[in-house]
Structure formats: structure tokens, C-alpha cells
Amino acid sequence: MFDMGFLELMLIGVVGLLVLGPERLPKAARTLGLWIGKIKRTVSGMQREISAQLEAEELRQKLNEQQKKLDDGVQQVKRGVESIAEKDDGTPSSTSGGGGADKPAPAPAEKRLDDALANARTGSDDADRQAHTEDSSADKDPASR
């Protein structure tokens, strides 16, 4: 911080001894040391806090970027699924030959997407349950032991 050598410190000590006297100089030096320690701790704490806030802000920015990328990907997949669903819905009605008056109006694309996702989830849940049932029945089978 200050570029002080031994000679400068000796000069400050001699001036302090002349001004304060031999009785008060040790107490003044101790008090000065305590104040310098408090100042150093305060500055260090502020530096840590500023570093933590900068790091948190950087993480927030990265998180927002990743969220935007994820949202873009979800929207792209959603558009792709909706276009495939519209193609699938368009194909049977064109081959039915005008019998579309008896059919109800197709569900909105979002509803179809939600239904497809729900079916996929229940399908994977059913497959997991079936695999678990087969594993547990194999454990109970005395012939396999």
C-alpha cells in the first residue's frame, strides 16, 4: 500500500514517542493496529460481497441465455409436432371423399399436442410397470431359483 521502508518507520516511531510520550505510545500503537485491522476486514468483506454479486449476476445472465435457448427449442419442436399433426389430420379428410360433414371439427393443435404428450407419458409408465411386474414375478417363481 504505502512504500515505506525501515528508516521511514523508525522516523514515525521517534516522532510518535516525542509527541505522545513513552506512557501513551504503546496504547496509541495498539489502538492504531486495531483500527487498521478493522479497516482491512471491512475492505475484505466488501470485496468478497462485490465478487459474490458479480458472480451471481453472471450466473443469472447464463441462466437467462440457457432459458431462451430452451424456450426456442421447445417452440421449434412444438411447431414441428403441430405441422406433423396438421399433415396427419389433412391426409384422412382428403381421402374420405366428402364425408367430412359427419366428423367433428379437429381439436386445436395445442390440445392434440397435450394429448400426445400425455399418451407418451402413460405409455412409458405402463411399460415401466409391466417390466417391474415381470421382474417381480420372476423373483417369485420357485423354478427360477
Task: With CA atoms as reference, report the closest residue to 121 among 131, 110, 133, 113.
Answer: 113
Q: For 47-87, how does the pLDDT look when each residue is reduced to its tens digit (9 = 90+)?
A: 999 999 999 999 999 999 999 999 999 999 989 888 888 87
Q: Are 78 and 113 in contact (CB under 8 A)?
A: yes
The domain of 62 spans 44-79
What is the CA angle 113-119-123, rounded to 5? 145
Is residue 29 situated within a structural domain? no
Cβ neighbors of 77 (< 8 A, separation 6 or more) are none
Domain count within the chain? 1
pTM of the predicted protein model:
0.42
Cβ neighbors of 100 (< 8 A, separation 6 or more) are 93
Is residue 23 situated within a structural domain? no
Is residue 101 situated within a structural domain? no
The three grid cell numbers given for residue 140, joined into one nine-digit string: 417369485
Is residue 99 situated within a structural domain? no
Q: What are the residue ranges in the chain where pLDDT is below 70?
A: 1-2, 90-107, 123-145
Is residue 49 situated within a structural domain? yes
How far is 107 from 86, CA to CA, in rounded Å?
10
Is residue 71 situated within a structural domain? yes
Is residue 10 situated within a structural domain? no
Q: What is the DSSP string of 58-74?
A: HHHHHHHHHHHHHHHHH
Is residue 28 situated within a structural domain? no
